[in-house]
Amino acid sequence: MVVVGALIWLASYPKSGNTWVRSFLHNLLRNTTEPADINALNQFCLGSSSRRWFEQVSPVPLEQLKPDALARLRPAAQARMSTVSPDSIFVKSHNYLGPWFGVPLHNMQVTAGAIYILRNPLDVTLSLAGHLGMSIDDTIKFMSTDGAGTKLTARHIPEVYDTWSAHVASWTSGANPQLFVARYEDMSERPVETFGKMAGFLGLNPAADRLERAISNASFDVLSTQEREKGFKEKPAHAEAFFRKGKPGQWRELLSDEQIAKVVSAHRAQMERFGYVPDGF
């Protein structure tokens, strides 16, 4: 069970189900009949890449800082996040669990615990390609690039993903009672069991109807309908939609054998750990 107080990381490699988990938790805690607004998720969960936290602790405009100086602001910025509430605070993170320019990407002194969400990288490849506006082949290469991440923008500070394998290993290789690991596929195929265990990890024991309502109100159909009707502010401008398909296993129809082989070759060890290596590869 997570320790109460400080930050609870909702961590994942991009396009692995982070928004789904945030929406589920928002609906569970909000506990209303109508689904929570997807554009209000930032009122419930902070974003570790939001530059406003760094601006609050930086002596100069962020654009004047070199990457190593920007990295040194992170512990203070995250400590500032932990003061938002006397209770535990959810914070979304796409960073791997490690250092950047020698500074930890996650300040453990203000951390209560973490939920890590992972997804078959064969499906991540498809979703991430649309999200980044890249070809599938370039996305496969990106997911295998050491130190891969993003740059400073008008709204966000750099995120550091590293490779898909390094990201997964960094969060999941060591046993930790304050870490809950959830597979996207289990959230899809066994939602009551998986989300119920997630709630229990957080010290919650919701009634069955409340749990099932939160799961229903955070379903892919609900989220994608909300996006179609009123947009989703986290969608990149070049992406056709933030919520694409949502169903596991699309890679079987949309990736070539050569592309599957490249992903498996690059990430076999971590894929084997979580049952993601297809037969014959």
Q: Can you give the pLDDT at residue 221?
A: 80
Please answer whether residues 80 and 56 qualify as being in contact, where contact means their C-beta atoms are separated by less than 8 angstroms: yes
3-state SS of the chain? Answer: CCCCCCEEEEEECCCCCHHHHHHHHHHHHHCCCCCCCHHHHHHHCEECCEHHHHHHHCCCCHHHCCHHHHHHCHHHHHHHHCCCCCCCEEEEECCCCCEECCEECCCHHHEEEEEEEECCHHHHHHHHHHHHCCCHHHHHHHCCCCCCECCCCCCECCCECCCHHHHHHHHHCCCCCCEEEEEHHHHHHCHHHHHHHHHHHCCCCCCHHHHHHHHHHCCHHHHHHHHHHHCCCCCCCCCCCCCCCCCCCCHHHHCCHHHHHHHHHHHHHHHHHCCCCCCCC
Domain residue ranges of the chain, discontinuous segments joined by +: 7-119+154-236
Give me the residues of the chain with pLDDT under 70, please: 1-5, 229-246
Task: Identify the architecture of domain 7-119+154-236 in CATH.
Answer: 3-Layer(aba) Sandwich (3.40)
Rounded Cα distance between 125 and 156, Å, is 23
Question: Could you read off the pLDDT of 251-274 as tens digits, one per residue?
Answer: 999 999 999 999 999 999 999 999
pLDDT, one tens digit per residue, over 135-147 is 999 999 999 999 9
Q: What is the pLDDT of residue 270?
A: 98
Averaged pLDDT of the chain: 91
